[in-house]
Amino acid sequence: MNSDRLWSLIRKEFIQIVRDPRTLAITIVMPVAMLFLLGYAASNDVRNVPLAVWDQDRSPASRELLDAYRAADYFHLAYDVDSEDALRGLIDHGQALAGLIIPPDYSTRIVRGETAQVAMIVDGTDPSIASTALSAAAMIGQTKATNLLVERAASRGQSAVTQMPVEVRTQVWYNPDLLSSHFMIPGLIGLILMYLTTLLTSTAIVRERERGTIEQLIVTPLRSSELMVGKLLPYALIAMVDVVEIIAAGVLIFGAPINGSLPLLLVLSALFLMSTLGLGLLVSTMASTQQEAMMTSAFFMLPALFLSGFLFPLSSMPWYLQAISHVIPLRYFLIITRGIMLKGVGVEVLRTEILALALFTVIIMGAAVLRFHKRLD
Amino acid sequence: MSELAVQVDRLTKRFGDFTAVDGISFEVRPGEVVGYLGPNGSGKTTTIRMLLGLLRPTAGRAEVLGFDVERQAEAIRPLVGYMSQKFALYDELTMAENLEFYAGIYGVPKGERRGRQQAVMDLVGLNGLGDARAGQMSGGWRQRLALAIALVHRPQLLFLDEPTSGVDPVARRIFWNTIDKLADDGATVFVSTHYMDEAEYCGRLGIMNGGRLLALDTPAALKRDTLPGPTWNLIVDRLIPALDALESLPGVFQVGLRGDHLHAITLAGEHSQHTLQSSLEGMGFSVEVESTDPTLEDVFMALAGDKAPSLD
């Protein structure tokens, strides 16, 4: 590698990037805009499930029960109806995802010390919402029942049997509130960076080919390796700006934690960028038009989305999909971002992932260098 | 062998079934300006690309400055300058930045870079225009910058592929003056063109058609040796009927239309001013015949048996 040649190329690339302010603006603004957009959308949290209530009792006791549902922010008491048909209609139209029916004798039964039944109907179309809503509904009901038992016992002057025979004490580490945004933001950072960087370099070589400047470059003493590195470094710098702003946005806007080392996160982000920028370059050496290059790099996105562990846990996938996931750099980076941001782990835990990314980068850059021949045929 | 700038031996390039360059052989000596004349698609660009190691020859071999173009292309690259048909410039960069980029890529030493850039900008007449964006310049200026880029590392040998295509006549004239200056300083230049008038400036000239090198010699020798006989200009009253009549005369090799008159090549010893004049007058034409010096267009037509590539 000749530093003079390399520096000349890097300088030229920078001038070209800076003199194309529209593309530069998109590059700088897009990651945060995407994080903003997707950060709110990509959430598995079940909150504010619209609930239709048919309260046939309309007593202080039934209102107390409704208050219990209102207090837990799982449900949003959106509709107050007065027939089963009305309730069914709301669920059919998707306006309500759950319905609660309180029978007319609810308070009477409670007063008499009998078992009062209420009905909970849940729209099972989306199983993840349904199961969370069901268990939340059951939990709220049980808590209410336990409270009633205690009250009754107290009113009879008995000391309550509050001791439960078995108790499972649960403890959630790293993300104690089970906020899916905390889980999603580190993943989104990786996904957005991958999308952006692969696109950035995928046109880098083929653009020279389309404009005919590649011919002039080939007849110079510039080496294939110098061309690849010289094309990669300027974009790496820009992508690092993106890394900093997207992490800042994740922390400031979405309150994502960084429990581990920020410098380590930045360094490993840079490593990840090398692998995805390299992938873009490899695509660029193979494509014959910029359009083809962009299509090809977009083609990598969907598998990365599904097979990296971004959306679904890898452990629940069949073995062959798990095998494929090993060649997706995002897979490793997700473990790294989630590890550093949520778990606060360091290099000693992430050694495998770091090695995998480094290896991937070396192989992909090597392939790009070998793939680019200083010839036209 | 190594004292030759270019040595080409039965060089061939096929693209599938199409033979772009068909077994050509020639040599270029140091300090020569060798032209390559032929219509579009005659194999000029393919030849230059093979000599630069951009395309792999299908058969035959070539050496540039003593290096094999197929195996030692990288050794050739720092020693030669190249100007492609498209004037490969970066539109976002200024003229000076384009030049500086290539000076850096060619490894012009930092200390010499500024002086060298200034010198080539002066040579091609671009001084004072360094800050203009290349993308905003017209063909003539872009062409000059492309030449400056090809010269910035002081190559021993210059390959110019149709350097004047898409450039106005004044700019073409200025361009050739620059090539003349370079030649006076001892540069070796290999230049392709499809303009007959430009071909006259070359020390030696190759005539290319359909992938074959039909002849390679000085323009004077080509005019002297390749024509079957003398050339004539005929001013007639009715051009097209006279052209047909002339073509049917025995001893007439070729007749062409040249603007407002006819141009004919006859076989040696077959015709004189008088015989042409009387033959046509006998067929009812009013005609004035004059003997004329042969042109490169005549040479091309005689060799290629075809229409000349351009008539300006």
Q: Could you tell me the two tokens for B257?
A: 């239309």
Of the candidates B103, B100, B98, the residue with the CA atom closest to the CA atom of residue B87: B98
Cβ-nearest to A376 among B54, B78, B105: B54
Q: Please, are residues B292 and B251 in contact by the beta-carbon 8 Å criterion?
A: no
Of the candidates B227, B220, B223, the residue with the CA atom closest to the CA atom of residue B203: B220
Q: Please tell me if residue B88 touches chain A, with a CB cutoff of 8 Å.
A: yes
β-pairing verdict for B261-266 and B252-258: antiparallel
Q: Could you tell me the two tokens for A333?
A: 């980076």
Q: Could you tell me the two tokens for A58?
A: 């309309």
pLDDT computed for residue B311 by the predictor: 40
Please indicate whether, in this complex, the C-beta atoms of A376 and B55 are within 8 angstroms of each other.
yes
Q: In whole angstroms, what separates CA A79 from the centre of its chain? A: 32
Question: Do residue A316 and residue A212 come from a single domain?
Answer: yes
Alpha helices in A255-346 (DSSP H): 262-286, 290-299, 301-307, 319-325, 329-338
Residue B274, Ramachandran bin (φ over 0: left; ψ between -120 and 50: alpha; else beta): alpha
Question: Do residue A196 and residue A305 come from a single domain?
Answer: yes
Indicate whether A120 belongs to any domain.
yes
pLDDT computed for residue A224 by the predictor: 93
Question: Do residue A299 and residue A191 come from a single domain?
Answer: yes
Indicate whether A169 belongs to any domain.
no
A chain contacts of residue B53, beta-carbon cutoff 8 Å: 219, 374-375
Question: Do residue A267 and residue A149 come from a single domain?
Answer: no
Candidates A5, A7, A8: best to mutate against B (most CBs of B within 10 A) is: A8
pLDDT computed for residue B19 by the predictor: 94
Distance CA A369, CA A376 (A): 15
Annotated domain spans of chain B:
6-218, 228-293
Percent of chain B at pLDDT > 70 equals: 97
User: Is residue B2's pLDDT more than 60?
Assistant: no
User: Is residue B66's pLDDT more than 70?
Assistant: yes
Mean of pLDDT values over B41-61: 94
Question: Do residue A184 and residue A322 come from a single domain?
Answer: yes
Question: Do residue A367 and residue A288 come from a single domain?
Answer: yes
Question: Do residue A255 and residue A326 come from a single domain?
Answer: yes
Cβ-nearest to B82 among A8, A216, A374: A216
Q: Please tell me if residue A211 touches chain B, with a CB cutoff of 8 Å.
A: yes
Q: Which CATH architecture has domain B228-293?
A: 2-Layer Sandwich (3.30)
Indicate whether A174 belongs to any domain.
no
Number of independent structural domains in chain A: 2
Q: Which residue has the higher pLDDT, A377 or B246?
A: B246
Question: What's the CATH number where A125 sits?
Answer: 3.40.1710.10
Question: Do residue A283 and residue A185 come from a single domain?
Answer: yes
Cβ-nearest to A16 among B78, B84, B92: B92
β-pairing verdict for A49-55 and A98-102: parallel
Question: Do residue A263 and residue A348 come from a single domain?
Answer: yes
Q: Which of residues 3-42 of A touch B (CB under 8 A)?
A: 4-5, 7-9, 11-12, 15-16, 19-20
Q: How far is CA B125 from CA B27, B83, B160, in A?
A: 32, 17, 18
Question: Do residue A68 and residue A27 come from a single domain?
Answer: no
Cβ-nearest to B105 among A5, A16, A374: A5
Three-class DSSP labels, A223-257: CHHHHHHHHHHHHHHHHHHHHHHHHHHHHHHHCCC
Q: Please, are residues A251 and A258 in contact by the beta-carbon 8 Å criterion?
A: yes
User: Is residue B1's pLDDT more than 50?
Assistant: no
Question: Do residue A101 and residue A140 come from a single domain?
Answer: yes
B chain contacts of residue A220, beta-carbon cutoff 8 Å: 77, 102, 105-106
Taking residue B162's Cβ as centre, other Cβ atoms within 10 Å add up to 22
Mean of pLDDT values over B151-180: 90
pLDDT computed for residue A61 by the predictor: 87
For residue B138, the one-letter residue type is: S
Q: Please tell me if residue B112 touches chain A, with a CB cutoff of 8 Å.
A: no
Q: In whole angstroms, what separates CA B270 from the centre of its chain? A: 33
pLDDT computed for residue A167 by the predictor: 66
pLDDT computed for residue B309 by the predictor: 46
Give B21-46 pLDDT, tens digit per residue: 999 999 999 999 999 999 888 999 99
Sign of torsion over alpha carbons B15, B20, B26, B30:
negative
The ipTM is 0.86
Each residue's pLDDT expressed in tens, for chain A with a length of 377 residues:
888 999 999 999 999 999 999 989 999 999 999 888 888 776 666 778 899 999 999 998 889 888 888 887 788 888 999 999 999 999 998 889 889 999 999 888 888 888 888 898 888 888 877 888 888 888 888 888 888 888 777 777 766 555 666 767 767 777 777 677 778 889 899 999 999 999 889 989 999 999 889 999 999 999 999 999 999 999 999 999 999 999 999 999 888 899 999 999 999 999 999 999 999 999 999 998 999 999 998 888 888 888 998 888 888 889 998 999 999 999 999 999 999 999 999 999 999 999 999 999 999 999 999 999 888 87
For residue A31, the one-letter residue type is: P
Indicate whether A1 belongs to any domain.
no
Question: Do residue A64 and residue A19 come from a single domain?
Answer: no
Q: What class, spelled out in words, does domain B6-218 have in CATH?
A: alpha beta
What is the phi/psi pair of residue B208, to 5°? -110, 135
Taking residue B283's Cβ as centre, other Cβ atoms within 10 Å add up to 14
Q: Please tell me if residue B16 touches chain A, with a CB cutoff of 8 Å.
A: no
pLDDT computed for residue B152 by the predictor: 94
Cβ-nearest to A15 among B53, B93, B103: B93
Q: Which residue has the higher pLDDT, A125 or B146?
A: B146
What is the phi/psi pair of residue A174, to 5°? 70, -45
In sequence order, which residues have a C-beta less than 8 Å from that of residue B200 and are 6 or more positions away?
A: B219, B296
Domain range spanning residue A300?
8-43+179-371
